[in-house]
Structure 1
Amino acid sequence: MDHPPIQPGTAAFSAITAEITRAMNSVVDGKQDAVRTALRVLLAGGHLLIEDVPGVGKTLLARALAKTVGGSVNRIQFTPDLLPSDITGVSVFHQERHAFEFRPGPVFAHIVIGDEINRASAKTQSALLECMEEHQVTVDGTTHRLQEPFMVVATQNPAESEGTYPLPEAQRDRFMARITMGYPDSAAEVAMLKHHMDPLAEHSPLQLLRQVTSPDQVLRMVEAVAQVHVSDAVAQYVVALGRATREHPEVRVGASPRSLLQLLRAAKAEAALSERDYVTPEDVVTVSVSVLAHRLILQRRSGADEDHAERIVAQALHMVPAPTPNAQR
């Protein structure tokens, strides 16, 4: 029996998203913005890249999201010797049947956690391109569909860290949003120490986290978010922001049409989380830095590229006039 989508702005939609948020915040101390971004990307049908130094909770955030949503979860530890087939799967000859049999790789799950994705070579990283864009895997000429909903939550260490490879531009473009965790504030860090200080404790906070929803329900919510209304004025605003990044003198490659589509999808999810069924310019502003900055290619490369790209997006938001309230709906 088919169930109707759970519409944004309804009590049912708000109750589920509020419960997911509450559960994740109980485990990931002091990172409310990161939690909201992760949920936003899930509802927009995208993928999330979390970049920061080791030990600030990147993997914990990914695991908390996976556990609250339920469904199948696989973790891939990226290493320099990892092969593409270690991710997608491989065809193995079956002696008794005298035929090749496909053995699925860890990418066949609702949520795939890619730990330290930039420790693998570009060739191995590229194994995720088809998975993330088309939700399928092609091995030996045969296409295998992935489960729905499908989301990759990848973590990476800063590019200057030892033993890391830069993510290819095409790979970075597949991630809807990129965030950094940052260090927690003092109160959150004290709370974290209290939660995790006993290594012999029978249950960790993550183990106590319970499933809030189901993959089928999440899929219905994703379908509903896709129907959130976008006015012509807001769509024109998004295009103007993209063009402003392309025309910036310090940018070699600005926001692509695909990135603008991702921006609009993220804005729809932000509107839904704000209990609305239409997008406002404020929704676009809220998600712009996390969606656009990691896609910009600057004229000069340096260790501060990410911060510089974020400032360029902020400048575009300041320069491009937002539509008037009367034109938003």
Structure 2
Amino acid sequence: MTMTVPTTEELAEVADLARRVRAQLDTVLSGLDDAIDATLATVLAEGHLLLEDVPGVGKTTLARALGRAVDASVGRIQFTPDLLPSDVTGVSIYRADDHSFEFRPGPVFANIVVADEINRASPKTQAALLESMQERSVTVDGATRALPAPFLVVATQNPVDMEGTYPLPEAQRDRFMTRIAVGYPSGADELAMLESHDGHDPLGDVVPVTSAAALTRAISVVRRVYASTAVKQYIVAVVRGTRASADLRLGASPRASLQLLAACKARAAMLGRDHVLPDDVKSLAVPVLAHRVIPAAQARAAGRSAEQIVADVVSQVAVPTAREPEPLRRG
């Protein structure tokens, strides 16, 4: 099926939406340009985002700021060891007056779901998000209920070697489009943080700059961004390279190929382009693929991280040099 690529005006609207949201995030966190770029690409691709790092570096702040910058419903779940699946999805309450059951939706019924410290809950509770993240629906007591659109999960987690954490299963990690490590700020950025946070909560300054409807329109524009066969072959070669790497026990899945393409389309639209370039793939390969792969024992013994291995795989794949002729896509 041939799709009409976005017009210049549509791309300008997407780029402007991304700029406005970025401006709000920049008021809260500084020095996180790469992390914010990947965050915005994930949002515009309607993917799910996993923020992973040590406590106190701004993971939850970034997630909450994103929720405030979009005028949409936001559900926040604080994951704890005693959290139950029904605390996430909702529960049916018996009504004695008419002998019926009434469904009380859980916080997952929102446009943006902030799942804070997701790996502190038990695997059973973590699994409560699997259906919603993949199918954008929730099944409770045999009834399947659709979630609102757009639907995004922004989860934070601490490294698995920290106390009180449960590792996310591979099936759930694979449903996150990107994983971003926030990292420690530079000295200048940390000083700026002290200045801006001294007696003041900058989250209070974050205001909605777009709506759920506008975000839905932007997502539909992003899906129509053109990707040539050469670029798709490049994505496939990168993903297959992770499966062939001797440094990896588990390579990236076919879902990873689809989500890498979607994220690359979002990055292209953010930059005002109606087509994907290999540079988009190289920029997003690590945040999209690294959390899906498992390093082999010898790679772990050598101290090599999944991010380093994926970056090496990308560097070894030949980059397409010419853009193939395109069909007429605008009417």
Shared fold (TM-score, shorter chain, > 0.5): yes
Percent identity of paired positions between Structure 1 and Structure 2: 54
For the Cα contact (< 8 Å) 1:289–1:310, is it kept in 2? yes
Q: Which amino acid aligns with 1:257?
A: P
CA-atom RMSD, angstroms? 1.9
1:45-194 map, 5 Å: 45-194=46-195
Judging changes above 3 Å, is the alpha-carbon distance between structure 1 residues 231 and 16 closer, same or farther for their aligned structure 2 residues?
Answer: same
Q: Secondary structure in 2 aligned to 1:27?
A: coil
CA distance, structure 2, for counterparts of residue 8 and residue 234 of structure 1: 24
Q: Which amino acid aligns with 2:67?
A: A
- In the other structure, the counterpart of 1:220 is 217
Gaps of 5+ in 1: none
- In the other structure, the counterpart of 1:206 is 203
Q: Which amino acid aligns with 1:148?
A: A
CA distance, structure 1, for counterparts of residue 49 and residue 112 of structure 2: 11
Alpha-carbon shift at residue 326 of structure 1 (Å): 3.1
Judging changes above 3 Å, is the alpha-carbon distance between structure 1 residues 10 and 56 closer, same or farther for their aligned structure 2 residues?
Answer: same
- In the other structure, the counterpart of 2:285 is 288
For the Cα contact (< 8 Å) 1:242–1:254, is it kept in 2? yes
Question: 1:177-232 CA distances to partner (integer Å, 9 max, x unpaired)?
Answer: 0011111111111111111121xx4xx21111111000000001001101100100
Please identify, of 239-248 and 294-303, the stretch whose mean Cα deviation from structure 2 is larger. 294-303
- In the other structure, the counterpart of 1:259 is 256
Please identify, of 237-246 and 318-327, the stretch whose mean Cα deviation from structure 2 is larger. 318-327
Q: Secondary structure in 2 aligned to 1:92?
A: strand
Judging changes above 3 Å, is the alpha-carbon distance between structure 1 residues 133 and 173 closer, same or farther for their aligned structure 2 residues?
Answer: same
Please identify, of 317-326 and 213-222, the stretch whose mean Cα deviation from structure 2 is larger. 317-326
Alpha-carbon shift at residue 11 of structure 1 (Å): 2.9
CA distance, structure 1, for counterparts of residue 108 and residue 303 of structure 2: 28
Alpha-carbon shift at residue 327 of structure 1 (Å): 3.0
Judging changes above 3 Å, is the alpha-carbon distance between structure 1 residues 121 and 23 closer, same or farther for their aligned structure 2 residues?
Answer: same
1:236 to 233, 237, 248: 233
Gaps of 5+ in 2: 1-5, 327-331
* TM-score normalised by the chain length of structure 2: 0.93
Q: Secondary structure in 1 aligned to 2:305?
A: helix
Please identify, of 232-241 and 9-18, the stretch whose mean Cα deviation from structure 2 is larger. 9-18
- In the other structure, the counterpart of 2:45 is 44
- In the other structure, the counterpart of 1:18 is 19
Question: 1:109-165 CA distances to partner (integer Å, 9 max, x unpaired)?
Answer: 111111110001111100000010011000011011111111110000011110101
1:298 to 284, 295, 299: 295
CA distance, structure 1, for counterparts of residue 157 and residue 29 of structure 2: 18
Alpha-carbon shift at residue 12 of structure 1 (Å): 2.5
For the Cα contact (< 8 Å) 1:294–1:309, is it kept in 2? yes
Alpha-carbon shift at residue 27 of structure 1 (Å): 1.2
CA distance, structure 2, for counterparts of residue 164 and residue 209 of structure 1: 31
Alpha-carbon shift at residue 53 of structure 1 (Å): 0.7
CA distance, structure 1, for counterparts of residue 147 and residue 113 of structure 2: 11
For the Cα contact (< 8 Å) 1:20–1:68, is it kept in 2? yes
